[in-house]
Amino acid sequence: MRRIAGLLLLAAGPVLVLGVLFVLPVTGMVAEGFFVDGRFAPGAVLEVLARPRVHRVAWFTVWTSGAATLVSVVLGLPAAYALHRLALPGRAAVRAALLVPFVLPTVVVGVAFRQLLGEGGPLGFLGLDGTPVAIVCGLVFFNVAVVVRTVGVAWESLDPRPGQAAAALGASPWQVLRTVTLPALRPAIVGAASIVFLFCATAFGIVLTLGGVRYATVETEIYLLTTTIFDLQAAAALSVLQIVVVVGLLALAARLRATPDPTAHRTATPARAVRRGDAPVVVATLLVLGAMLLPILTLVAGSLTVGDGWGLDNYRALTTSGDNQALLVPVTSALVTSLRTAVDATWMALLVGVVVSLVVTRRSHSVAERRVRSTLDGFFMLPLGVSAVTLGFGFLITLDQPPLDLRDSALLVPMAQALVALPLVVRTLTPVLGGIDDRQRQAAASLGASAWRTLLTVDLPVVWKPMLAASGFAFAASLGEFGATSFLARDDDPTLPVVIFRLIGHPGEMNYGMALAASVVLAAATAAVMVAVERLRVPGVGAF
């Protein structure tokens, strides 16, 4: 009981933070859908869910997310093998390059694909601009990195001896893959696919930029109902539907991942030399890399295009308010705001994430303690199951009255972004902390070290690099966050993703050129952060 009391005391701070900044906004949002004029009216939610447009939006969300997930897994598996099992020259740089799309701001991805598939773009002749295929392509571009990194880390930690034994008994490479390797990788593949589907189903900036009003998912429909039609009750009803579906999906994924993971207690296996039979996998990986780089290169080329020639005019215009006063503040000011906001969001997410990781990874000494830790782990991962748009909507309608009137607080946007980044921090740190041998802590304690001294001498030397990597993930995610920020950012102090979206919505060649240039600047900032993160990667540990 003393250990459980200490555990609850340590978890009290993060629980209070999530209670105020997550449970309260989400509860307020749910109440908005179920209560009409102060009366409990669940029929209002059912009425919204019975609308034909809601059915079309829900089906569009399901099939585009499913298609993007399938394509991401098919493209990601060969790249995961090549980049984590083969000693390819420059594979660290390729891994970093494939990771960049995952943390690119969704608005930047949307702008890049519009430039690639639009009229006059390199692939404009395909006629895919403004179609569901373009949306699926954008979702795949954004999520292939999840499959490559998650499955690749499991693959490099896989014991090669069962496959070698099967080959020695006469099994062909295909039989070894089908009967030995893929069953062992099942937890990682299912986990990656479930997370990809979740990210696709809650994608916001990509769908809003490429689909507009014609093609809407549940996520963008909530945004349109709130900001354009002002139907808060319908938006709340859709948010309730989204939460139920996402939580159900996470529970199903956890059940499918119940198979013991044979890579859980292994370290990275050294990569082997490339053989002749690996040529198809290497070629497939290069094609995936080319497909990932093409939209970015098209975006850069578009930002440098001025009339019929080349120049830096679009970048020089970033210090202005655009054509016809499209912006209240110049892009450069929005970039400063984004950097400042990302710094605040990063230290918030890291502060809470470190405590959460310590709480959920310490060894349990009783069944009751194990259950408490498991419950806390599930509670702290709840932000992963609620979209950023829903979270921003909840902030908007709940944190507007004393004593929690945060509408004018400079920390409102950073707090929302920190909640979005928190699962990334926790899932980066927990595998590392969980892998520390508890006997080292016991030995330090037996020598008279206090709990804090043990933490500094045993845990910190192992976890400091992953902490820096987690900070990079949080910073990059916050820098490009658009869903919650689109609700909360003030018009006179917007972040860079919000400014890019506003420039796209204003007609004029200068405004569109500025949007391209601003997208390149934002993409370069996130890419630089992710290259640094890849250098801090711990072999065998790669959870997002």
The whole-number pLDDT of residue 267 equals 53
For 173, the token pair is 């490479």
For 490, the token pair is 């003030």
Q: Looking at the predicted structure, is the pLDDT value of residue 173 above 80?
A: no
Whether 369 contacts 4, CB under 8 Å: yes
Query: If pLDDT is split at 50, 70 and 90, which confidence band does 263 have?
Result: very low
Give the helix, strand, coil percentages of the chain, each rounded to 5.
75, 0, 25
Pick 183 or 67 by higher pLDDT. 67
Mean pLDDT of 287-291: 87
Q: Looking at the predicted structure, is the pLDDT value of residue 88 above 60?
A: yes
In terms of Cβ atoms closer than 10 Å to its own Cβ (0-12, 13-18, 19+), residue 501 is buried
Whether 410 contacts 41, CB under 8 Å: no
119 CB contacts (<8 Å, ≥6 apart)? 129
How far from 437 is each of 8, 61, 376, 443, 540, CA to CA, in Å? 23, 44, 22, 10, 16
Query: What are the φ and ψ backbone dihedral angles of 17, each rounded to 5 degrees?
Result: -60, -50
The whole-number pLDDT of residue 385 equals 66
Whether 241 contacts 46, CB under 8 Å: no
Dist. CA 273–CA 281, nearest whole Å: 13
- Reduced to 3 states, what is the DSSP secondary structure of residue 35? strand
232 CB contacts (<8 Å, ≥6 apart)? 32, 225, 226, 397
The whole-number pLDDT of residue 341 equals 93
Summarised one tens digit per residue, pLDDT across range 30-62 is 787 777 777 777 777 788 888 898 889 889 999
Pick 323 or 276 by higher pLDDT. 323
Nearest to 254 by CA among 350, 340, 377: 377
Whether 362 contacts 373, CB under 8 Å: yes
pTM: 0.80
The whole-number pLDDT of residue 390 equals 78
Q: What is the dihedral of CA 124, 103, 391, 203, to 10 degrees?
A: 30
The average confidence (pLDDT) of the chain is 81
Summarised one tens digit per residue, pLDDT across range 413-454 is 999 899 888 888 887 788 777 777 777 877 887 878 777 787
Whether 483 contacts 383, CB under 8 Å: no
Q: How many CA atoms lie within 13 A of 313 on its CB side?
A: 14
Q: How many angstroms separate the first and last alpha carbons of the chain?
A: 33
Summarised one tens digit per residue, pLDDT across range 302-335 is 889 887 788 888 899 889 888 877 888 898 999 9
DSSP state of 124: G
For 21, the token pair is 């900044």
Q: Looking at the predicted structure, is the pLDDT value of residue 130 above 90?
A: no
Which residue's structure tokens are 């997410």?
349
How far from 281 is each of 87, 142, 148, 222, CA to CA, in Å? 13, 21, 13, 41
Angle, to 10 degrees, between the axis of helix 331-361 and the axis of helix 2-18?
160
The whole-number pLDDT of residue 265 equals 45
Length of the chain, please?
A: 544
Distance of CA 244 to the CA centre of its chain: 20
The whole-number pLDDT of residue 540 equals 47
Mean pLDDT of 350-362: 85
Which residue's structure tokens are 């601003």?
518
Q: Looking at the predicted structure, is the pLDDT value of residue 6 above 60?
A: yes
DSSP string, 285-319: HHHHHHHHHHHHHHHHHHHHEETTEE-SHHHHGGG
Question: How open is the CA angle 249-136-237, to the nearest 5 degrees?
Answer: 45
Percent of the chain with pLDDT over 70: 93
The whole-number pLDDT of residue 24 equals 87
Whether 357 contacts 433, CB under 8 Å: yes
Whether 115 contacts 182, CB under 8 Å: no
Dist. CA 254–CA 277, nearest whole Å: 35
For 217, the token pair is 């998912």
Assign residue 43 a region: left if phi > 0, alpha if psi is -120 to 50, beta otherwise?
alpha
Helix ranges, 50-131 (H): 52-85, 91-103, 106-117
| Range with lowest mean pLDDT among 64-68, 130-134, 401-405 | 401-405
Helix ranges, 118-172 (H): 132-156, 161-168
- Reduced to 3 states, what is the DSSP secondary structure of residue 33? helix
How far from 119 is each of 114, 372, 519, CA to CA, in Å? 9, 57, 19
